[in-house]
Each structure stands twice: as C-alpha cells, then as structure tokens.
Amino acid sequence: MDATFEKGSWMNRDTYPGRLPQPSALKGALHRHLIDALEEEDDNLLDGSRFMLLQFVTNQLSDYIQARHLAYSRYEQDQLAEELVDELIGFGPLESLLRDPTVTEILVNGPYRVFIERSGVLQQIDLRFIDEAHLLQVIQRILAPIGRRLDESSPMVDARMPDGSRINAVIPPVAIDGAALSVRKFRQDMLRSADLLASRSLNRDMLEFLELAVRQRCNILISGGTGTGKTTMLNMLSQLISPRERLVTIEDTAELQLKHDHVVRLETRPPNADGHGEVVARDLVRNALRMRPDRIILGEIRGTEVLDVLMAMNTGHDGSMTTLHANNAQDALLRLESLVGMAGVQVAERTLRQTICSAIDVVVQLIRLADGRRCVSEIQEVVMLRDDQFVTNTLFRLDRQGNGVFVRESANPAGEKLKRIF
C-alpha cells in the first residue's frame, strides 16, 4: 500500500488544513487497493451486477477511510464509490459526461484537462484522470467493443461507439503532450424543424423555402465550419423527403436518423491492421448508383468522391444532399472545384464549373455565433456561369451588423432552374 496513506498520516481537516489527500490522489490509491481486493475474491464481481460491485466498493472504501482516520463525509464516500465503480467497469471520468444529455462534446487534452461543450459553448471542468496510464486505459476500453487498434504503430483512430457517438483519439508519439480524446455525442432525439425555429437557427420563411426545395427535388449543399450543425441540418431536411422515395445514405460514421421505411445506410470502413479491406466514400457512391436510389444523401464530401456525387446529381438523382466544410457559400463552390483537382481528374476549368453549376441548386451556409448559437447565415441559389465565374443569388441572410435577424434578400429565385420548379 502507498505509504502516503498509512494510518495516522492524515487527520481531521480542521486540525490539519490542506493535508487531507485530495480526492484524485485518494482515488488513485483506492483504485490499486480495490484491484488487489478483487483479485482475492472468489467471485468475479466485475462480471456481475453493478449493484453488487458498488456494495463491495462502498464497504472497501469505508474500511479504508476508517483505518486511516480520514475525514470524508458519507456523501463524499458515496460519490467516490460511484466514480470508482465507473472506473472499474465503465469509462472512468467520462461515464457521467456520456450520460449527461446536456453535454454535446467531450474534449480531453491529456489526463488533467477535460473540456465539454454545452449549448455550443466550450468550458473546462474539474474532472480529470489519475494519470496518463489511466487515460490510455479508458481509451482502450472504449475501443475494445468496436475492434479498433491504437498503439505506437497506429497512433490515431476515428470510429463510432456502440451508441453512435463519434470518437477520435491520438496518442504519443503523434500527440506530443499526451493522449488526446474527442467524443462527439450522438443525439438520441435529433432536432426537428420546430426545434430549429425555437432556437432561432432559422426563421419560418427560410424553413418554408427549404421545405419546398426538398419537395421539388433540388440538389442541396450544406456548408459550414466544424461544429456549426451541418449534420443536424442535413438530418432535418432529410425528414422532409417523401416516404415513398428510396434513399441511400453514405457516411464515414453513421449519424443520420431517418424515419423513412425505405432507407439503405452505408458506412465507410478503414483498413485493417494489415492495411487491407478499406472501403472509401467513393466506392460507396459508385455502388449506390447501382442500388436504384431516388436520392443519395452523402454525410460529407471530403475527397475523391466529389466527382461521382456531382455526376449523380447531374444524371437523374435530383434531390440529393450533402455537406461540406467551407466559410461561405461562394467558398463552398470553389472548394468543390479544388476537391475535384485533388482527386487527380483532369477536367477543363469551364467544364468543371459548368458541372458544379448544373449539379448544385441551393447552398445553405451555417455558422456558430459567439454565444454558441448555431444558425443559417445565408441561403444562396446557384444561378449560372458567366465569364467562367459562378453567379449566385442570395435568397436569405443573417443581418450580423444589425440585430441578428434574418433578412429576405430576394422575393423570388433569379435562376431559370429554380424558377421552373417553384
């Protein structure tokens, strides 16, 4: 046993202020003590019920504290016992955060710095891991059920947890200051149009336009930065599609929750430990075209699949939707162009821009404001190509210089394509 906690070393808080071991230090010693005690038990309590394990941990904790005359209240002991059980069979300090519905993201920068996102705002919290080894142990415990590998030869992993949450982990030597973990939690109840109206993500005029655009089978590109709500918007728009249509969704990590009866969900697959078996988005887009889809919904355009998606939108798969990382609607169109170039396909600039112009009907741009609110900053239609440049028309925009209200820029679409369908 750690000599720091020998009998008589720690007395009453009032008698020796500041000398009582901090809960994190006590937890580390108790964790080792419990492992030793569990190994001496005839029954494997780790495979039993949580109640039985909690009872065992509570008794061990009480005896440990009494033997060393430590001044911890019953409430503190009960809380510590719950945390120790979480560490033994769950995800340690992350367990309570994963259960908290108000937490949308968890960011761990090494064992001693944990941040969370609530209502779009990041904040540091007091929870921490015992040490680097404890953090690595929790990461490996998260990855175990999904069969992913994380070690020095493969120091990065991006995967989906059993509950649908997205996890990204990076360990040394790639992560210089210690292991880093990011968890984007999966919402069990995806936001609907009424929720977006209530949170002032858009107004009713914008919603009515988007509903009509979906019904009239416009090809929609949702653009925005990280954490601006692109997947949420894509999911909401997908709910507006007629249940009589056949949908094929393609995602890196499955997040869309479509309530349609006729949905085929496809997900990319990373290579195995030998570097084989990878299935990329481009493979799935090509395969989706053979599955008789009415619409293709691509979670996010990242690379070489961009040309296949544009071709699909131009060849009978109207009403398809996807997302893209870009700072504004104009940049989104230019980024599509650059991704085609990165795919190694040689296409004349005018031909490529004409393909993009014909494929994309509407660009919905999202932003996240300083107060954490995610909202639509503009909705643009792609009108035409003039002098080899994209011509767009802003239909709605957020007045960021004024009082933050949404402004309707144009009463009617300017392009012939939208005029014909509206």
Q: DSSP letters along 112-143, please?
A: T-EEEEETTEEEEES---SSHHHHHHHHHHHH
DSSP-based three-state secondary structure for 69:
coil
Domain ranges of the chain: 3-89, 94-184, 193-421
Sole residue written with tokens 């699949």: 305
Report how far residue 222's alpha carbon sits from residue 324's, in angstroms, rounded to the nearest whole number.
6
**What's the pLDDT band for 7 if we cut at 50, 70, 90?**
very low
- CA 261-262-265 angle, to 5 degrees, is 110
Q: Torsion-angle region of residue 67: left (phi > 0), alpha (psi -120 to 50) or beta?
A: alpha
This prediction's pTM? 0.77
pLDDT value of residue 220: 97
Examine the pLDDT at 15 and tell me if it is beyond 90. no
Report how far residue 304's alpha carbon sits from residue 50's, in angstroms, rounded to the nearest whole number.
47
Q: Which amino acid belongs to residue 228?
A: T
222-247 tens-digit pLDDT = 999 988 999 999 999 998 999 899 99
Report how far residue 80's alpha carbon sits from residue 256's, in angstroms, rounded to the nearest whole number.
37
Report how far residue 291's alpha carbon sits from residue 36's, in angstroms, rounded to the nearest whole number.
56
Looking at residues 318-335, what average pLDDT do you find? 94
Query: What six digits make up the tokens of 123?
Result: 């904040």
Contact 289, 302 (CB under 8 A): no
Look at residues 164, 168, 202 and name the one whose alpha carbon lies nearest to residue 183.
168
- The CATH class, in words, for 193-421 is alpha beta
29-55 tens-digit pLDDT = 777 778 778 777 767 776 678 888 888
pLDDT value of residue 401: 67
138-171 tens-digit pLDDT = 899 888 888 788 888 889 998 888 787 889 999 9
pLDDT value of residue 16: 33
Query: What six digits make up the tokens of 99?
Result: 């259960």
Is the previous residue joined to 111 through a cis bond, with omega within 30 degrees of 0? no
- The CATH class, in words, for 94-184 is alpha beta
pLDDT value of residue 17: 36
- Do the strands 389-398 and 406-408 form a parallel or antiparallel pair, or are they unpaired? antiparallel
Examine the pLDDT at 62 and tell me if it is beyond 70. yes
pLDDT value of residue 403: 63
Examine the pLDDT at 331 and tell me if it is beyond 80. yes
Contact 298, 339 (CB under 8 A): no
Contact 363, 333 (CB under 8 A): yes
To 10 degrees, what angle do helices 23-40 and 50-67 make? 120
Query: What six digits make up the tokens of 385?
Result: 């190509």
Residues 6+ apart with CB under 8 A from 411: none
189-211 tens-digit pLDDT = 777 888 899 989 999 999 999 99
Residues 6+ apart with CB under 8 A from 94: 106, 108, 138, 142, 183
